[in-house]
Amino acid sequence: MARKELPEGTVLLDVTDVSYASFAKDFLERTGHEALVCHGPAEGVCPLLAGAGCDKIDAAHGVVFQFDLDRPEHRAILARYKKILDSEIPVRVVVEHGQDEAYAELLAGTDVWAREPTAGDLDAFAAQVEAADRSRGIDE
């Protein structure tokens, strides 16, 4: 899938928690990283699950996914990301207690945070995304 023309290190924050998304976006942008936010569709089904495209996932060079994996539609979104994203694009999934074991097969190939990511976690992830961009030859 072709990446859109955004700076290296662009991170998609695919999260339901509005206050956390605001914190994470502000932090990433203050540290020089482009950040996109998706809270899911206001109504209906995610366009990716409906067979449509998504500009945000197309532009993402890395994804922080923080939806509830106990919900089938959220698992389906993560499965779709894993199917359409280049395997070198880092994906971090924030899970609730026990979800890392319950959904181990779905989480294979992703990195898992079993707690809400801190500023340090986000900074390290953004650096990982930039490194993956450089290894794929994507420059600012």
Structure tokens at 106: 């779905």
Give the other-Cβ count within 10 Å of 95's Cβ: 21
C-beta of residue 61 within 8 angstroms of C-beta of residue 11: yes
For the stretch 16-41, pLDDT in tens is 888 889 999 999 999 888 899 998 87
Mean pLDDT of the chain: 88
- Please determine, for residue 105, whether its predicted confidence score (pLDDT) is greater than 60: yes
- Please determine, for residue 2, whether its predicted confidence score (pLDDT) is greater than 50: no
Domains (ranges, CATH) in the chain?
11-132 (3.40.50.2300)
Angle at the Cα of 121 (from 19 to 33), degrees rounded to 5? 75
- Coil, helix or strand for 37? strand
Average pLDDT over residues 112-133: 91
